[in-house]
């Protein structure tokens, strides 16, 4: 059996980097912009009668920083999930401009619709995952995409005001793309999902290292507090001593625990 390419404008096979997982680069339209994404598909997808869960992967960073890693999404797909990872507009040859959580969030919403249309994907078992800056993208997807099963925020941003305060090295970029939080307060508020957390209708899993120097653990605490106040179901796992990028046993253990949690949401 072949991959169902009908939801995409274009689909190009890429070199395999993980046993039992096929990789593709796909193109699709988001708000009339032609954008790109990486797609990782486990071999079990191609078996007769297969119906798999899917994970919408929201990358961190911007441009070359935090780009989608084929190894990571392939590792995730090996758990039996179809993984679709938007590069966001303005990245990897896609049209438009990366707005760091502005209109580019529609690239994620459109990707969710693609997964809903993809053959042999269980429409009732589509979850979203966000790493770093991808945390806000994932949370907005959990707010806007009706039918999302669950949401994982790993080392994720939840408050853009806090990001401006703690990341002095990013302030020039943030002022260029968004503005200053005192002068363009509405733009920062619009990119902060905490203000709309009561609209989330799926369980949230928060994973964060206690020694994260890129996205402070306060983001995890603020998200958990907002979910508690809104009466939303969530779990918060704090990895003692872990930094922004989990390594070694921490990465393997929390990845396995995460997929066990995702499987349990069905």
CATH of the domain at 150: 3.40.50.1820
The pLDDT assigned to 135 comes to 98
What crossing angle do the helices spanning 248-264 and 70-77 adopt, rounded to 10°? 40
Res. 194: pLDDT tops 80: yes
Question: Does any domain span residue 2?
Answer: no
Question: Confidence band (pLDDT; 50, 70, 90) for 166?
Answer: very high
Question: Confidence band (pLDDT; 50, 70, 90) for 213?
Answer: very high
Q: Do residues 163 and 170 make contact, with C-beta atoms less than 8 angstroms apart?
A: yes
Provide the 3-class DSSP secondary structure of residue 57: strand
Res. 67: pLDDT tops 90: yes
Bridge pairing between strands 82-86 and 121-131: unpaired
Neighbouring C-alpha atoms within 13 Å toward the C-beta of 70? 12
Interval 120-157: pLDDT, tens: 999 999 999 999 999 999 999 999 999 999 999 999 99
Q: How many domains does one find in the chain?
A: 1
Interval 3-49: pLDDT, tens: 989 999 999 999 999 999 999 999 999 999 999 999 999 999 999 88
**pLDDT mean across residues, the chain:** 97
Q: Is 27 a catalytic residue?
A: no
Question: Confidence band (pLDDT; 50, 70, 90) for 2?
Answer: confident
Q: Do residues 67 and 18 make contact, with C-beta atoms less than 8 angstroms apart?
A: no
Q: Which of 27, 221, 243, 244 is catalytic?
A: 244
Res. 173: pLDDT tops 80: yes
Against a cut of 0.85, is the pTM above it?
Answer: yes
Q: Which of 74, 127, 132, 150 is catalytic?
A: 132
Q: Do residues 3 and 11 make contact, with C-beta atoms less than 8 angstroms apart?
A: yes
Res. 259: pLDDT tops 80: yes
Question: Average pLDDT, stretch 60-67?
Answer: 94
Res. 55: pLDDT tops 80: yes
Q: Is 127 a catalytic residue?
A: no
Name the residue range of residue 96's domain.
Answer: 10-264
Question: Does any domain span residue 38?
Answer: yes
Res. 1: pLDDT tops 90: no
């Amino acid at each position: 059996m072949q991959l169902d390419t009908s939801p995409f404008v274009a689909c190009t096979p890429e070199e395999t980097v993980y046993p039992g997982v096929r990789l593709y680069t796909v193109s699709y339209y988001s708000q009339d912009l032609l954008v790109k994404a990486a797609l990782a598909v486990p071999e079990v997808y191609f078996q007769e009668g297969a119906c798999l869960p899917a994970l919408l992967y929201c990358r961190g960073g911007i441009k070359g920083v935090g780009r989608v890693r084929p190894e990571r999404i392939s590792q995730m797909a090996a758990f039996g999930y179809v993984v679709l990872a938007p590069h966001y507009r303005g990245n990897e040859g896609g049209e438009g401009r990366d707005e760091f959580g502005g209109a580019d969030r529609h690239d994620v919403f459109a990707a969710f619709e693609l997964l809903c249309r993809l053959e042999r994907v269980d429409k009732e078992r589509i979850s979203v995952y966000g790493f770093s800056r991808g945390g806000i993208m994932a949370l907005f997807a959990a707010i806007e995409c009706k039918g999302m099963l669950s949401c994982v925020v790993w080392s994720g941003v939840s408050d853009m005001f806090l990001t401006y305060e703690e990341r002095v090295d990013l302030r020039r970029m943030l002022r260029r793309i968004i503005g200053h939080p005192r002068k363009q307060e509405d733009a920062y508020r619009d990119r902060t999902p905490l203000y709309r957390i009561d609209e989330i209708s799926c369980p949230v899993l928060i994973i964060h290292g206690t020694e994260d120097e890129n996205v402070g653990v306060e983001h995890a605490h603020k998200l958990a507090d907002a979910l508690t106040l809104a009466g939303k179901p969530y779990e918060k796992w704090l990895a003692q001593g872990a930094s922004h990028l989990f390594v070694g046993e921490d990465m393997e253990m929390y990845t396995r625990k995460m997929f066990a949690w995702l499987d349990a949401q069905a």
